[in-house]
């Protein structure tokens, strides 16, 4: 008992209550879901076998992954240029941009989603205006399809993409870019050989963050997809609340969890995860 006591760092005592809380309230339910996915309605791999049997289920998973990939590409791409602009303009403009970014960050997802409907819906501002000036005869279908889901999700995700990139870009010594120019590198050479590699950890962090958050999107596809775009999160909710197939729901949830863990594992093969999440390069 004595040796056991000695080997425990006193710091653990301070976080012990928190640890208990996390284990019981977070890990517990997750374990329960994993358990359910193997046992409900009957023990075995039956729920996972459905993936192979049901086209519909596979299509939902594929739709989700496809939408998440497109969302991630656009959010991170746009986020990269926004972060770049913020780092390289003067302090006052930077404050304005940061305020605007954070305001959109803080507004409820429900409000932002319905705003898109008002703006781009069949009778929305854009279609109405275009019809009134005679540019189009029929309203353009921006909403109630996959395009609508993508617009809503990319818009929601941009602040998440910008923030890790901003941190990573801000930490670059401007003299390093001067040095690259001084040594004769053109703008694109400096970007590809110095700036991009140095912001790569931020880029990876932002990609991971956006992709993982996108996987769980529920409100936006439900509202902007108009029932035509079914993603995993919405399907899980239907299984839980309507059809009461908890086993299938648990299986899909477990699948997403494994997917995320697999991505983190894959990423850790290429770089230290601690650098991505703000640790030092060394």
Partner 1 sequence: MAEPLEIGSLQIRNVSKIFGTFKAVSDVSLNVQKGEFLTLLGPSGSGKTTLLMMLAGFLDVSEGDIALDGASIAGVPAEKRNFGMVFQGYALFPHMNVRDNIGYALSVRNRAVAEIEACVDEMLDLVQLQQFADRKPGQLSGGQQQRVALARALCFAPPVLLLDEPLGALDKKLRVEVQEQLKVIHRRIGTTFIYVTHDQEEALSMSDRIVIMRDGAIEQVGTPKELYERPKNKFTASFLGKSNFIHHNDKVYALRPEKIDLIVGVDHQDARMNGTVSSITYFGSMQRVIVDTKEGQKIEIDIDVWRNANEVKLGDAVDLLWADEAAVELQMG
Residue 173 binds partner 1 (CB under 8 A): yes
Residues whose CB falls within 8 Å of the CB of residue 117, separated by 6 or more in sequence, listed in order: 124, 143, 223, 224
What residues from 67 to 126 belong to the interface with partner 1 (CB under 8 A)?
none
Q: How far is the CB of 167 from partner 1 (least distance, A)?
A: 16
178 in contact with partner 1 (CB under 8 A): yes
Which of 33, 167, 185, 260 touches partner 1 (CB under 8 A)?
185
Considering the complex, state which of residue 152 and residue 164 has its C-beta at the smaller distance from partner 1.
Answer: 164
Query: E strand or H helix at 184, and its extent?
Result: none
Ramachandran angles phi, psi of 149, nearest 5° = -60, -45
Residue 214 contacts residue 68 (beta carbons within 8 Å): yes
Q: Which one of 166, 194, 208, 210 is in contact with partner 1 (CB under 8 A)?
A: 194
Judged by CB under 8 A, the residue of 137, 175, 241, 269 near partner 1 is 175
Residue from 16, 20, 183, 261 binding partner 1 (CB under 8 A): 183
Stretch that binds partner 1, among 11-19, 85-93, 186-194, 247-255 (CB under 8 A): 186-194
Q: What is the 3-state secondary structure (H, E, C) of 117-170?
A: HHHHCCCCHHHHHHHHCCCCCCCCCCCCCHHHHHHHHHHHHHHHHHHHHHHHHH
d(CA 60, CA 229): 9
* Integer angstrom CA distances of residue 231 from 47, 93, 215: 18, 38, 8
Least CB distance from residue 174 to partner 1, whole Å?
9
Q: Nearest distance from residue 180's CB to partner 1, in Å?
A: 7
Smallest gap from residue 278 Cβ to partner 1 (A):
16
Helix (H), strand (E) at residue 183? none
Q: Where do contacts with partner 1 occur on this chain (CB under 8 A)?
A: 173, 175-176, 178-186, 189, 193-194, 197-198, 281-282
């Amino acid at each position: 008992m004595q040796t056991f006591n000695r080997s425990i760092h006193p710091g653990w005592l301070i976080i012990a209550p928190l640890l208990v809380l996390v284990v019981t309230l977070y890990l517990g339910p997750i374990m329960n879901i994993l358990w359910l996915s193997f046992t409900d309605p009957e023990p075995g791999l039956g729920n996972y076998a459905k993936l192979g049997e049901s086209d519909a289920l596979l299509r939902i998973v594929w739709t989700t992954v496809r939408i998440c990939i497109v969302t991630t590409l656009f959010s991170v791409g746009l986020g990269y240029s926004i972060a770049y602009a913020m780092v390289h303009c003067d302090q006052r403009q930077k404050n304005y941009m940061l305020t605007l970014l954070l305001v959109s960050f803080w507004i409820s997802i429900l409000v932002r989603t319905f705003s898109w409907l008002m703006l781009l819906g069949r009778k929305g501002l854009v279609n109405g205006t275009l019809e009134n000036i005679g540019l189009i005869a029929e309203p353009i279908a921006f909403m109630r399809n996959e395009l609508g889901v993508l617009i809503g999700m990319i818009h929601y995700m941009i602040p998440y993409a910008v923030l890790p990139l901003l941190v990573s870009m801000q930490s670059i010594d401007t003299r390093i870019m001067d040095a690259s120019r001084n040594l004769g590198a053109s703008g694109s050479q400096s970007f590809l050989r110095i700036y991009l590699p140095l912001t790569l950890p931020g880029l990876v962090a932002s990609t991971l963050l956006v992709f993982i958050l996108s996987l769980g999107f529920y409100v936006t596809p439900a509202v902007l997809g108009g029932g035509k775009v079914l993603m995993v999160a919405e399907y899980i909710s239907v299984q839980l609340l309507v059809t009461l197939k908890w086993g299938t729901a648990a299986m899909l949830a477990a699948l997403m969890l494994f997917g995320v863990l697999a991505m983190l594992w894959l990423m850790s093969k290429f770089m230290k995860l601690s650098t991505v999440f703000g640790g030092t390069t060394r």
